[in-house]
Amino acid sequence: MNSVWVGWCEITIFDIHPVIEKTEKKNLESLLDYYRTDTVIPSSTDKHKLLKVLSGKACDPPPIWLMRQAGRYLPEYLEVRADAGSFLELCYNPDLAARVTLQPIERFGFDAAILFSDILVIPDALGQKVSFVQNEGPVLEPLEDGKAIKTLSRDGFLDHLAPVFETVKLVRSSLDPGVALIGFCGAPWTVATYMVGGRGSPDQAAARSFAYQDPEGFQHLIDLLVEVSVEYLLAQLDAGAQALQIFDSWAGNLPEGEFDRWCLQPAKRIVSGVRAIVTDVPIIGFPRGVGPLYPLYAREAGVNAVSCDTSLPLEFIRQKLQPHVCVQGNLDPLLLVSGGPALDRRIDEIIEVLGDGPMIFNLGHGIVPQTPLKHVDQLIERVRR
């Protein structure tokens, strides 16, 4: 049992998780040194509605933020994006990325900011070629076999991502103390689907086939992504993030056994790996599209909250998920586009069913570019009335 000072508190490490156990001793010492800083992160939930509900307490009205709240529906974002160069250049420009992160807070007064970045900075930092093509999205050089996976390198991983951590520091220093800052990463399965397939796809066929045909090789990729995700999230916490979200956007296309191996178990390992260093960090998991497997994830992943996609019935969320964790969601992003009385009714329904327990009001997935700003105003006013 060891006790170390990590950023803002003394942490007692009882058992080193296998993720860290597998890391060479010099890498572990370097990792711990990385977090022995003078960074001060407020630990009290008194001023943070989001942190309060993540600790298991109900809050009336509930805190609200939106996935992809910093993005293309905002005219001020489009102005910054036009001057930034490529999308990755924007992600790696701390001044611009911090400005973009803060824009929805300044405009709408959300209860939390979420770091502006992308889940694919991890493969980029591992040496895989990543680009973002206009009107196409991310394009990567596909990893077609185990030999290609072995070309990935952790050398300089955290150094490559240093601009992201600087963004977190800039945002935290600019935020009102009552606004929480969320860091994030993509879940290993979802990130792997892009790394293997080379781009997004409706069925993740390339990654699913790889995992069936070469489970040992695919496991090596997942293990690598678990380990570097732990490092990445810890560095965000050290820079000033106060909560984390793990996005598993493509979890819904896997059978139960594969979901357990490629989604649930890696999520558990990331959560326990992070908490081996920072024991009390609140973590939100988002296994989008897994339907009846949501309760299994809520019980076993170790997260404080689950973000619920739009397809989940409210009574299912209340009965099967909320007794175990805080719940987040799950307004349809397209209803936010439509607005009007239907939007008000659904907001009221969500709060009526879920508002007596710990909940965070959010969407069932990210806000879409065509969303009218006045409808976001309508949403916030209705939630907070």
Q: Find the farthest-apart pair of alpha carbons in the chain and give their distance in angstroms, rounded.
A: 59
Please report the pLDDT score of residue 257 as a whole number.
97
Please report the pLDDT score of residue 35 as a whole number.
42
Here the CATH number for the domain that contains residue 239 is 3.20.20.210
* pLDDT exceeds 60 at position 178: yes
Question: Distance between CA 260 and CA 254 in Å, rounded?
Answer: 9
**Mean per-residue pLDDT of the chain:** 90
DSSP code per residue over 137-164: EEEE----SHHHHTT---TTHHHHTHHH
Q: What is the mean pLDDT of residues 107-133?
A: 98
Amino acid at 272: S
Question: Distance between CA 61 and CA 49 in Å, rounded?
Answer: 9
Q: Which two tokens stand for residue 79?
A: 């102005």
CB distance 301 to 325 below 8 Å: no
Q: Which residue has the tokens 């892009």?
A: 194
* pLDDT exceeds 70 at position 42: no
Q: What is the mean pLDDT of residues 19-45?
A: 42
Give the tens place of pLDDT for each residue, 308-344.
999 999 999 999 999 999 999 999 999 999 999 999 9
Q: What is the mean pLDDT of residues 260-265?
A: 98
Within 8 A by CB and 6+ apart from 176, the residues are: none
Give the tens place of pLDDT for each residue, 351-379.
999 999 999 999 999 999 999 999 999 99
Q: Is 255 helix (H, G, I), strand (E, B) or coil?
A: coil
Q: By mean pLDDT, which of 34-38, 70-74, 102-106, 330-334 is the weakest?
A: 34-38
* pLDDT exceeds 90 at position 22: no
Confidence of residue 47 (pLDDT cuts 50, 70, 90): low
Domain range spanning residue 338? Answer: 2-384
Pairing between strand 9-13 and 2-6? antiparallel
Q: What is the mean pLDDT of residues 20-30?
A: 44
Residues with a known catalytic role: 68, 72, 81, 118, 194
Question: Distance between CA 329 and CA 331 in Å, rounded?
Answer: 6
Question: Distance between CA 100 and CA 184 in Å, rounded?
Answer: 16
Amino acid at 342: A
Element at 359 (helix H, strand E): strand 359-363
Amino acid at 94: P
Report CA-CA distances (Å) from 162 to 92, 115, 151, 240, 246: 8, 14, 22, 13, 20
CB distance 369 to 316 below 8 Å: no
Question: Distance between CA 152 and CA 99 in Å, rounded?
Answer: 32
Please report the pLDDT score of residue 83 as a whole number.
92
Confidence of residue 48 (pLDDT cuts 50, 70, 90): confident
* pLDDT exceeds 50 at position 206: yes
Give the tens place of pLDDT for each residue, 269-306.
999 999 999 999 999 999 999 999 999 999 999 999 99
Angle, to 10 degrees, between the axis of helix 188-197 and the axis of helix 265-275?
Answer: 120
CB distance 87 to 114 below 8 Å: no
Q: Is 70 helix (H, G, I), strand (E, B) or coil?
A: coil
Question: Distance between CA 335 and CA 223 in Å, rounded?
Answer: 38
Burial of 244 (0-12, 13-18, 19+ CB in 10 A): buried
Alpha helices in 39-187 (DSSP H): 49-54, 75-84, 87-91, 94-108, 121-125, 146-149, 157-160, 162-174
Confidence of residue 4 (pLDDT cuts 50, 70, 90): very low
Q: Which residue has the tokens 């050398």?
A: 155
Q: By mean pLDDT, which of 25-29, 226-230, 302-306, 371-375 is the weakest?
A: 25-29
> What is the 3-state secondary structure of 9-32?
EEEEECCCCHHHHCCCHHHHHHHH
CB distance 3 to 12 below 8 Å: yes
Q: Is 110 helix (H, G, I), strand (E, B) or coil?
A: coil
Give the tens place of pLDDT for each residue, 77-109.
999 999 999 999 999 999 999 999 999 999 999
Question: Distance between CA 139 and CA 254 in Å, rounded?
Answer: 23
Of 79, 73, 16, 43, the C-alpha closest to 227 is 16
Alpha helices in 175-318 (DSSP H): 188-197, 205-213, 215-239, 256-259, 265-275, 294-300, 314-316
* pLDDT exceeds 60 at position 261: yes
Domain count along the chain: 1
